[in-house]
């Protein structure tokens, strides 16, 4: 990520945090939700569209850390998808995300629908030789939008279903996993659906 991108990321994150701090009361509920996800669309599995020895991989995992009042919440969410572009022998690739989201919805009661929007880091990594290491890692300033619903069986434990779209603001040049040149620069984007166990405290 460039110095300018880091500045924009920090400003946007601080702005979201300030808005949420002003709206979320001190007595807010806390939520921790580890999840399993499925990425699809956009750049997910793109290498397998042109290679015969490629296996598409769509699973990812991560966690959400949320503080919520009655109608607004602030979320810090991280996710990791290994072999995001496809599983190819002797290569390695992944996408890591760390997003700060402002959420609106219903955060009291047994059923809690919500929508969200935020900004953060989208880090892509591609290595053409796992033995030699190296490769190309790109840190990009990105955004996400989405929504979901939480349902609680008891005061402290429930389940959450979530769907969101993530995309970089700028173009990202990535090593092509089939050959050693660069693909044309374009923004990196994909959809992610996930299901997790929500713990409220």
Question: Which DSSP string do the residues of the chain spell out, in sequence order?
Answer: --HHHHHHHHHHHHHHHHHHHHHS-TT-EEEEEEEEEEEESTTTTGGGGT-SS-B---EEEEEEEEEE-SSEEEEEEEEEEETTT-B-TT-EEEEEEEEEEEEEE--SSSEEEEEEEEEEEEEEEEES-TTT---EEEEEEEEEEEEEEEEESSSSEEEEEEEEEEEESS-B--B-SSSSSBPPPB--EEEEEEEEEEEE-
Average pLDDT of 76-96?
Answer: 91
User: 8 or 124: which carries more pLDDT confidence?
Assistant: 124
Q: Of 65-69, 81-85, 105-109, 179-183, where does mean pLDDT reach its minimum?
A: 179-183
Give me the mean pLDDT over the 97-105 stretch: 95
Q: Which pLDDT value is given to residue 182?
A: 43
Q: What is the mean pLDDT of residues 125-139?
A: 77
When divided into structural domains, the chain yields a total of 1
Range of the domain at 186: 3-25+32-104+112-200
- Domain of 151, CATH number, reads 2.40.160.20
């Amino acid at each position: 990520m460039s110095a300018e991108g880091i500045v924009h990321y920090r400003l946007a994150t601080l702005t979201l945090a300030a808005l949420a701090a002003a709206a979320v009361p001190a007595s807010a509920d806390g939520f921790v939700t580890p999840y399993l996800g499925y990425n699809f669309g956009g750049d997910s599995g793109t290498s397998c569209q042109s290679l015969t020895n490629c296996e598409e991989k769509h699973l990812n995992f991560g966690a959400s850390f949320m503080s919520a009042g009655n109608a607004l919440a602030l979320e810090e969410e991280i996710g990791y998808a290994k072999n995001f572009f496809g599983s190819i022998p002797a290569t390695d690739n992944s996408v890591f995300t760390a997003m700060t989201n402002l959420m609106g919805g219903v955060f009291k009661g047994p059923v809690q629908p919500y929508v969200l929007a935020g900004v953060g880091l989208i880090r892509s990594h591609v290595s053409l030789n796992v033995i030699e290491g190296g490769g190309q890692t790109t840190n990009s300033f990105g955004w996400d939008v989405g929504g979901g619903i939480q349902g609680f069986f008891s005061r402290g434990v429930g389940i959450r279903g979530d769907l969101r779209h993530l995309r970089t603001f700028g173009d990202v040049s990535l090593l092509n996993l089939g050959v050693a040149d660069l693909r044309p620069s374009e923004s990196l984007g994909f959809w992610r659906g996930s299901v997790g166990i929500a713990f409220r405290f």
